[in-house]
Chain A
């Protein structure tokens, strides 16, 4: 049973990160029905910017805590700017284009960002500076670290804040209205362009936070790290029902836990035939099974028959 709870905790940590990234996918999708394939790269840029800024500040003699704060803010700001420009360059001009067109520009932007990152930060794995003290806790036989606690708490707080923003502010109301029906929303005086830009900017800020969490947790970063993470997060968003914010959060956490449990138990389940390197399969198998029975995800609204 110890492994079980241990894996639940590991899964919860990984899942909170997925959830933050998944929110970025789902917000953009909910408002404009578009898969922002470049979102994973925003996470990657967030991590790498944080590395550079923290490194520079620490070299300049700043205390680690302050440098960390500087790194986080710089990374969030850079990502917000990046998200905003992504929307302006790659998606806004194509809002009335055929459905697959923005998918291809998204892929193009993803390739551009990856290679830009490779030019700036190089091909090698970079070490992420340790910003938090490495404390260990033990509770009823399961171990967890201070970093894990911070990741879960910060994600939960961020998601709570996001829900407040969406359900308690004028901007949130405008976002929900646009998601329901952009044409009518704009007749009611909602500035659609601003709402869409806001969705990108907020999603990118969450991506930056997630990126820093990944960096702190695994202590390495790489220009290709965004791809698989983005894919998993997108899977989580679809699992929860894409376009649904609560769905993305639950989908993310669920996916993290399923993966962790899968990796922990697959050897036993298959009599040693399949090992833990099949971990990545779980996300997709679960996704396919869920969608077979609930074609619009766990919490997704039943969509109309026109795709």
Chain B
């Protein structure tokens, strides 16, 4: 790498880091609600990067990804809430959540190894629905998940006596709960990005790419496709589990409603819309798709009143309508995603000629 480019990219990273550090304070000027929106955007980045391992790297179309998120979230909720009277520390819960999600990933992965493409998609989708239906109904005869009411009063993330809920003062700076979670999530995200980057160019990453492009050929050159596909499922699922745990702690409340199919589809849309398999693209997709509906929530109502003097259509449905249209239009004009990897764009251009 040339020196100049090295310094320029370092400067870019530094500028990005500073921007990320001050962002919650900028957002706080618009109210804590915006900080929470940021938190969720980053949580979705985390989820999307996890799904990207399965869909983007290994090419396995997973429509039930939210199930692993649900496993993580419910693990946290059950082990750190008054529901069972357990209040275990994060060091215990998060690994258990990730581990259970990982097991769920292998459970889903192993019977589906032979399936390809759309058959896999529908089976993963079915798996996600099964998990959700169980969470919805496991309140009788033994009350495990508390059914559709969900679990409330979940403990926040805490390291020793340092709690992530409420406002604390650090070095004279008052940090609100959402702002603290923001930094926690950023730290987690940086970790996932590093893991993703390292994976992508590792032996495993290249093997996944081979499986994605041509499974038979991959097998023929001696790649253990079974283990690698299971590994992709397991890794993606563990990330989902960790994200779910943090979600649960951040919200203080979980219910099966948060884990419906549309959530899986949303995360998949983030991966595909951003640029499947390309880490910066996936991050962009996740940020855009999580912030856009919120921005529209604040946008469509006032714009209507400004233009027509009154509300013509229900802003809630209008904002989702615009969101759906945006999905269609983006894919229509950028079929490989907003920010595809350079190789992928080249392949497409060649195929198009």
Contacts and interface: CB of A to CB of B under 8 A. Distances in A.
Given A108-B324, A112-B321, A278-B137, A287 B123 contact: yes
A81 interface: no
A280 B321 contact: no
Interface string B113-132: 01111110111011101100
Given A119-B318, A288-B123, A112 B272 contact: no
A100 B61 contact: yes
A109 B324 contact: yes
Contacts of B261: 227, 231
Contacts of A126: none
A89 B111 contact: no
A108 B126 contact: no
A104 B272 contact: yes
B235 to A, nearest CB: 20
Given A104-B272, A231-B261, A303 B116 contact: yes
Nearest to A287: B126
A35 B320 CA distance: 22
A177 interface: no
A305 interface: yes
The dominant DSSP class at the B interface is: helix
Interface string B300-316: 00000000000001100
A242 interface: yes
B122 A108 contact: no
B141 interface: yes
Interface string B317-331: 110110111111001
B309 to A, nearest CB: 19
Contacts of B216: 305-306
Given A273-B141, A291-B123, A307 B336 contact: no
A305 B327 contact: no
B269 A104 contact: yes
A77 interface: no
Contacts of A238: 118-119, 122
B129 A284 contact: yes
Given A235-B122, A277-B137, A291 B112 contact: yes
A288 B55 CA distance: 20
B265 A107 contact: yes
A-B pairs, top 6 by smallest CB distance, nearest first, are A108-B327, A284-B126, A111-B324, A97-B335, A307-B117, A112-B324
Given A108-B326, A281-B133, 8 more contacts: A100-B268, A105-B332, A111-B324, A112-B321, A112-B324, A115-B320, A227-B261, A297-B119
6 contacts: A98-B336, A100-B61, A104-B273, A104-B327, A116-B321, A283-B126
